[in-house]
Amino acid sequence: MKNLVLHTSNAEETIELGRKIGSMLHKGDILAMQGTLAAGKTTITKGIAESLGVTDVITSPTFCLISEYEGKMPLYHLDVYRLEGSEDFINLGTDDMLYGDGVSVIEWSEKIMDELPKDVITIKLEPECDGSTKRIITITNWPYDEIK
């Protein structure tokens, strides 16, 4: 497992990084997205979705909590921002998604990390400075080759 630190300069580069990440994923992979509001969690997910063959428009699932998209394999896009904690997450019945035939992307995963497997791939997005479109993206537990 590798830890990577990557940089993007704008939203398009963040989407492109998502495409590269998505092209390397396998069924059962879980991506735990972390970062402040507007850090780029949904933006990078758009690129991941594209690489998985999803043609639907990707939006933040904040109000519906879970969005499921069809592509080469299912993409389960979860937003746990509005949950109180781990118990709420368990009550959503997410096991079929997390341990199924698709890829799961969980925004605001900081709230439920104790419910995720130890090998979860964590992607933390941080603006380089206030108001900047530049991002520092730290990926931990990356099990694949370098992202190029």
CA distance linking residue 47 with residue 132, whole number of Å? 20
Say whether pLDDT at 50 is over 70.
yes
Question: What counts of helices (H) and strands (E) characterise the chain?
Answer: 4, 7
Q: What are the phi and psi torsion angles at 69 (to 5°)?
A: -125, 145
* pLDDT score at 127: 92
The mean pLDDT of 14-41, rounded to a whole number, is 95
What confidence tier does 62 reach under pLDDT thresholds 50, 70, 90?
low
pLDDT tens digits along 99-117: 889 999 999 999 999 989 9
